[in-house]
Amino acid sequence: MSKSNSSGKPLITIEDMTKVYQMGEHEVWALKGVSLHIQEGEFLSIMGPSGSGKSTMMNMLGALDQPSSGTYTLDGVDVSQLSDNALADIRNRKIGFVFQNFNLLSRTSALQQVVLPLIYAGHKGRRQKAMDALQLVGLGDRMDHKPSELSGGQQQRVAVARALVTEPAIILADEPTGNLDSKSGIEVMEIFQKLNREKGITVIFVTHDPWIARHTKRVITLADGKIVRDEQVPQPLIAGESKRPSDTLLI
Amino acid sequence: MNLFQNFQLALMGLTANKLRSLLTMLGIIIGVAAVITLVSVGRGVENFVTAEFQGLGNNLLFIIPGQLSPDQQGPRRSGGSGLTNRDVDALTDLTLSRDVVSIVPEYGRSAVIVRGRHEARTTVTGTTVGYAEMRSFQPVSGEFFTEQDLLGAARVAVIGQTVYQNLFPDGGVPIGENIKINNVTFRIIGLMEEKGGSGFNDQDNIILLPISTAQKRLFPARRPDGQMRVDLIYAQMADENRQDAVIGQIELVLRDQHNIQFRDEDDFTVLSQDELVSTFGQITSVLTAFLGVIAGISLLVGGIGIMNIMLVSVTERTREIGLRKAVGAKRHDILWQFLVEAMVLALLGGLIGLLLGVIGARVIADLSDSLEPTVDWLAVVGAITISALIGLLFGVYPAARASRMNPIDALRYE
């Protein structure tokens, strides 16, 4: 039960959050009252089978959508009542996204991909910041390469650089290793662990993969729209130091 | 995201699909090129005609049969009485005053001229001796016909330079040679100087002969009442400032001649050179409006093409839109991105069309000697403005659609 290097300052406070989707005449309760507290510097996973509300949780945390009821406070800002444009602003300044399928712009250099959030933020000195971010993920020598000229792992590292370039409060990663071979997956995992360890960046993984979750420090399990388990990982795995066991062993 | 970045982004988007962008622009390109070329040529025709009318001579009035009504383009032949030799004689009395220098009638038709195995089609104009002086148009060799020829309806002809070239391709002295006009033999007595002008209004493609000969021997002009028709009467004034007075005198004489009652309208029209030019201007403006409508339709079609492609493009780039929104793009960022792309597409089409239109006008200028198509800057500015507006108009809907996309759905779009 190590609190590790989280500073103890509350970053995310979610109280009794629900999300109801209207599907024709039916109401679908994707979240049925979720409360969650995340502190600065944490590295956690949100797990759960499909249909558990995992994706909805990710959309809420990412300020991509708004809850039907309940509150969501991110870094001191109540996000649950904001307009579309204000949400865009929150996403821009406080949240970095990493997607399973990278979501890079085609025909655009790595540097330009990373500059993109800064453009919408209206930052000065964009180029230098983007170069620093790429350096941090080990792509300092690939800045002018386009996605088609990069390997999957490299593409995902560009996406990570894009997520962290705005110095967000949290990085939300949706199955970030899901489309990668195991070696690239380990590389990307290493970067996340390094960012959390060295920069104190709060990282939230959304995954269905227990082995990936074992690399994080806290695992929250959702089922049927509720948190059914919330536990600290006793000894988080360090990327690359242990081989992935066969699936049968995990079950 | 500022305008310049949007512009860069738009260019990137358009160059990514070069062929598609080009095909999309084609409607606008054709529309704008057509407008620029046609308007330029129209201007050229207008300038040409104006110069032509001005070049007829100085201080001329034109008397034509019929009434020129404002709602109708061109003269309306009313009553069919027309103008006759008797009108010419009556008007000639006006030359006794100091205001009118000369009265010259014209009567002619187009005809085929034959000399041996050479043939030419030309305008055969019957007129009087005063014509040469009034038009400042004199023979370079031989001589103009005389009063004697007029009285005797002599079969003599004075030919223009173009007719000479057509009938005498090997050169040689034309004076004294015989030609046949509508199978009537004429003797050439003079060769006119070069007047200039070519293309569809070649002033040297002309044969002049006594009006009495034309009326009696070539193109029978006798009306049932025994009078000889004329097509047109020129009145040359001594002083331009007395124009209104002269027109009044002419009207008085002709109304008397034609027994027109106090309340009835004239059955003839007296036009000054300025009026002639402005009448022609009315005709060309109708033409220009017509061309404008065609061009407008073409631009409309082009705009719809742009809208179509932008809708496709928005759908194709749904994930990109989702990603942009996820990293912080606001609605107006996305709106502008696609709006600028549509406008760049339309503007680029407009500029290419403009270039082609100017080239088209140049080509036409090179093909014809008499026309000097003038690229109208108003048309240029108009074409550019309209293409930008079309981009805006037809780009708004796709751009608004893109901007309203839900980021979650957009990111998940396959």
pLDDT bin (cut points 50, 70, 90) of residue A232 is very high
Residue B358 CA from chain centroid, whole number: 18
Q: How far B411 CA lies from chain A's nearest CA (Å)?
A: 8
Q: Are residues B163 and B89 in the same domain?
A: yes
List the single residue in A59, A65, A105 with the smallest CB-CB distance to B320: A105
Q: What are the pLDDT digits (tens) for B346-361?
A: 999 999 999 999 898 8
Q: Which residues span the domain enclosing B395? A: 3-51+279-412
Q: Which residues span the domain enclosing A60? A: 10-84+94-105+169-250
Q: Are residues B198 and B143 in the same domain?
A: yes
B12 touches chain A (CB under 8 A): yes
Instruction: List CB contacts of A31: < 8 A, sequence separation 6 or more.
Output: A17, A18, A19, A53, A56, A57, A60, A67, A225, A226
Cβ pair B214, B145 in contact under 8 A: no
Whole-number pLDDT of residue A242: 77
**B55 pLDDT higher than 90:** no
Report the candidate in A101, A204, A59 with the shortest Cα–Cα distance to residue B413.
A101
Q: What are the pLDDT digits (tens) for B273-330?
A: 888 778 777 877 787 778 778 877 888 888 999 999 999 999 999 999 999 999 999 9
Contacts of B331 in chain A (CB under 8 A): 84-85, 88
Residue A91 and residue B326: Cβ atoms within 8 Å?
yes
**CATH assignment of the domain containing A18:** 3.40.50.300
List the single residue in B320, B328, B333 with the smallest CB-CB distance to A91: B328
Q: Are residues B298 and B245 in the same domain?
A: no
Q: How far A106 CA lies from chain B's nearest CA (Å)?
A: 9
Rounded Cα–Cα distance for residues B146 and B343 (Å): 70
Q: What are the pLDDT digits (tens) for B58-109?
A: 788 989 888 765 555 444 444 455 899 999 999 998 888 888 999 999 999 9
Residue A84 and residue B320: Cβ atoms within 8 Å?
no
Mutate to test the interface with A, among B327, B334, B404 (most CBs of A within 10 A): B327
Least confident of A166-175, B40-49, B59-68, B81-90: B40-49
Cβ pair B100, B259 in contact under 8 A: no
Cβ pair B75, B232 in contact under 8 A: no
- Cα–Cα separations (whole angstroms), residue B44 to B36, B359, B369: 12, 15, 11
Whole-number pLDDT of residue A4: 45
Cβ pair B270, B62 in contact under 8 A: yes
Whole-number pLDDT of residue B78: 45
Instruction: Report which residue type is found at A91.
Output: R
Q: Are residues B243 and B299 in the same domain?
A: no
Residue B180 lies in a domain: yes
Alpha helices in B270-376 (DSSP H): 273-316, 318-326, 331-367
Residue A173 lies in a domain: yes
Instruction: Take residue B364 and report the two structure tokens written for it.
Output: 């036409």
Residue B331 and residue A85: Cβ atoms within 8 Å?
yes
Query: Alpha-carbon torsion B207, B210, B213, B214, what sign?
Result: positive
Q: Are residues B96 and B210 in the same domain?
A: yes
Q: How far A114 CA lies from chain B's nearest CA (Å)?
A: 10
Q: What are the pLDDT digits (tens) for B223-279?
A: 888 889 999 999 999 888 888 899 999 999 998 888 888 878 888 888 888 887 787
Q: How many CB pairs under 8 A join A and B?
A: 54
Residue B329 lies in a domain: yes
What total of structural domains would you count in chain B?
Answer: 2
| CA dihedral of B85, B89, B94, B95, whole degrees rounded to 10 | 100
Residue A64 and residue B326: Cβ atoms within 8 Å?
yes
Contacts of A97 in chain B (CB under 8 A): 326-327
Percent of chain A topping pLDDT 70 = 94
Final residue in a domain of this structure, among B266, B295, B322: B266
Final residue in a domain of this structure, among B240, B266, B292: B266
Residue B283 lies in a domain: yes
B8 touches chain A (CB under 8 A): no
What total of structural domains would you count in chain A?
Answer: 1
Average pLDDT over chain B, rounded to an integer: 86
**Nearest residue of chain A to residue B413 (CA atoms):** A103
Taking the complete model, does pTM exceed 0.80, yes or no? Answer: no
DSSP-assigned letters across all residues of A11-33: EEEEEEEEEEEEETTEEEEEEEE
Report the candidate in A153, A156, A146, A143 with the shortest Cα–Cα distance to residue A107.
A146
Residue B250 lies in a domain: yes
User: What's the mean pLDDT in A138-153?
Assistant: 93
Residue A149 lies in a domain: no
Q: Are residues B262 and B283 in the same domain?
A: no
**Nearest residue of chain A to residue B326 (CA atoms):** A91
Least confident of A15-19, A190-194, B116-120, B295-299: B295-299
Residue B132 lies in a domain: yes
Residue A121 and residue B322: Cβ atoms within 8 Å?
no
Q: Which residues pair with B337 in a beta bridge?
A: none
**Nearest residue of chain B to residue A106 (CA atoms):** B320
Query: Alpha-carbon torsion B265, B271, B272, B277, what sign?
Result: positive
Rounded Cα–Cα distance for residues B254 and B406 (Å): 82
Q: Are residues B305 and B402 in the same domain?
A: yes
Whole-number pLDDT of residue B68: 65
Beta strands in B160-267 (DSSP E): 178-181, 184-192, 206-210, 229-230, 232-237
Least confident of A17-31, A110-124, B157-171, B361-375: B361-375
